[in-house]
Structure 1
Amino acid sequence: MCIVLVTTAHPKYALIVLDNRDEYILRPTSRPHWWTPNQEPSSSVTNGAHHRTATQEILSSRDLQRPEHGTWLGITKAGHFAVLTNYRETDTHDATHPVSGTRSRGGMVTAWLGADPSESTAEFIERMLQHGDVKGVGGFSLLCGKLRRRKTADGRDTLEPLAILSNRSDSADEVPWLCGQRDEVHGLSNTHFSDPKPWPKVENGVKLVREAIKRAVEDDLDEDRLTDALFGILDSDTLPIDESRSFEAYIPILKESIFIPAIGGQKNRQDMLRALEDRKETELDEAKQELRDEERPDQTAQGFDTGMYGTQRQTVLLVDWDGNVTYKERALWDSHGVAIPRGEGDMSFKFKIEGWT
């Protein structure tokens, strides 16, 4: 039950993004790193339609469970940004909106991150809807766009708007656009953005972000202190814990809490114990090897739906008015299901968006 919070309310930043990835803790996932989806510019075919692709340098973590090795959040040096939340399907008999599809939802994120830099957000949205590329995957909402500073008629700086692509939209006219004006705060979780009854965790998140930005401006917080405050929002835990409750019993109340602590039944706890045993057996071999680098994927023999469920990764993204990006991801669990103390699993990246203005 992931959550994304975005705002244009801070005067020093064109965009601030907060994200919790809630997932089975043992699901194999890489740490963030720079990668390219293809090495040479080429043309590809999407459901019979040809479109040109070009090499993009992408910064993201990657899901290693599905063969697409997609992601839930990423950004490119050219300023393509995307973050995805699943849509919680409740009708298992709705063939047009499957609970899980033949393709990974994470591929929707990389479809935009790997798109030709000359393609506009609107053109991408039209292409994905017109050629049915949003079909064949489980329900999702994709907040995406090209991060660019633009001037209003009266000379004020604003951000080029972001779109929310979903397989709940039948045409581009139904796609919401946001963050094109200053002082916006929005939240998105596992229901449609236009849902008339927002989830409590989203309403609370929007409130907390607005309050945090107000305090940050009043106290003139530097970037490190601002980032700490934003991670504090992502740690907001209001979920009542009952160890006798199964994971399925928790599902209806996950919409209440921004942060999800490790939850699950007896089977989930047994999976975690097996993962710890695997760690004991392999740590001697690992001690003999020097880790390649920070790009080494977390490896685990566990399946995607084993182990406890909870907030696995947290990300804060800051983009200032000069196009400087700060990307910080916090891992809360290692590949064997061992909790990582806050801050010890952090990775940070800084770069400047090419073509920002």
Structure 2
Amino acid sequence: MAAKKPQHSHTVLSWLPVLAMSVVAVGDIVTGPGVGFLPLASLGPAFAGLVGGWRRTAWFGAAALLLCVALGLYDGLFQERRGFMAMVSVVGVTGAGLAAAVMRGRREAELANVRSIAEVAQRVLLRPVPLTAGPLQAAVSYTSAVAEARIGGDLYEVVASPHGVRMIVGDVQGKGLAAVETAAVVLGAFREAAHDEPDLVGLGERLERSVARVLEGEKFVTAVLAEVGEHHEVVFLNYGHPPPMVVHEDGTADFPQPSEYALPLGLGVQGSGSPKPFSVGFAPGEQLLLYTDGVTEARDDHGDFYPLGERAYLLKDADAQGALDTLREDLVRHAAGPPHDDAAMLLLRYHRHAPGESVDAV
């Protein structure tokens, strides 16, 4: 329903010049020249400039001028100045509408260029995750809280490294371009370190140093790192992030949490020691959902949070992306109005593979 409103409004605005000039013509004929409807013919080109280009405005300006001449002759107004003044009014409004239409066209072209650059930036920053990585199938969903934006302060990535399949989902403090810049720093460091560091703790320490060097304690990033290796388990490092959700084959869901959360990235220099990794079983047929707090903190009309654990049954579609899209649609229906925070979800399925297939193969 919401998607149809802009199209409906555009249709109304498109027909508004025709309606305005029709009302002027009928009103002038019915009431006669005494009321003075004729100058209102300039409403046609004035409304035409609201949508469309300068050609549309010029066309309605010409039509309004012909209407003005026809009604002026019908009313006998060219024997006095009223008819000519009405024509001057139409020409003046048409000229102003043409100038406005040209300027709007230039702004729209500039906006289209900016959007194309933003789309390139999106592909570089939040590039598509691989459909399969080792024994995992992956799907991702991202909803930005900023209108018309496609990227924000949430981040995700999946890397098939020599040490296992490694994932990150994070949430940068704040919003806007500054948050996007911080997300780029975290993702750049993760993509490089994921291949180099032999264990997840070393990977986390590399991220902490990179983020602390850039942010200098002014902001922080909550994040959860995950690794799936040769054994049927997933290892986590949680930096103050919402716990992941593991969905078992019977549809039940668990939210594994560490015995002690680490400080968010960027604040680790204020703490002591490295965060402790913890592992949980993760076998073929099970699913892992990493997400940001924009999911679990989405509220409905009554102020209730989104019950993610209760909606785990929605992830039953045979296609991983289709299942995640179903969950996202349910989240959108639950939320009251537009989202107040970015919401990212990364779904990973442990599929059954052929005997002898390496789990580290992409």
Q: Does TM, scored on the shorter chain, surpass 0.5? A: no
Give me the TM-score of the superposition, normalised by structure 1. Answer: 0.38
**Which entry has the higher C-alpha Rg, 1 or 2?**
2
Give me the TM-score of the superposition, normalised by structure 2. Answer: 0.38
Q: Which has the higher strand share?
A: 1
Task: Give the structure, 1 or 2, with the largest relative contact order (CA under 8 Å, sep 6 or more).
Answer: 1
Q: Which has the higher helix share?
A: 2
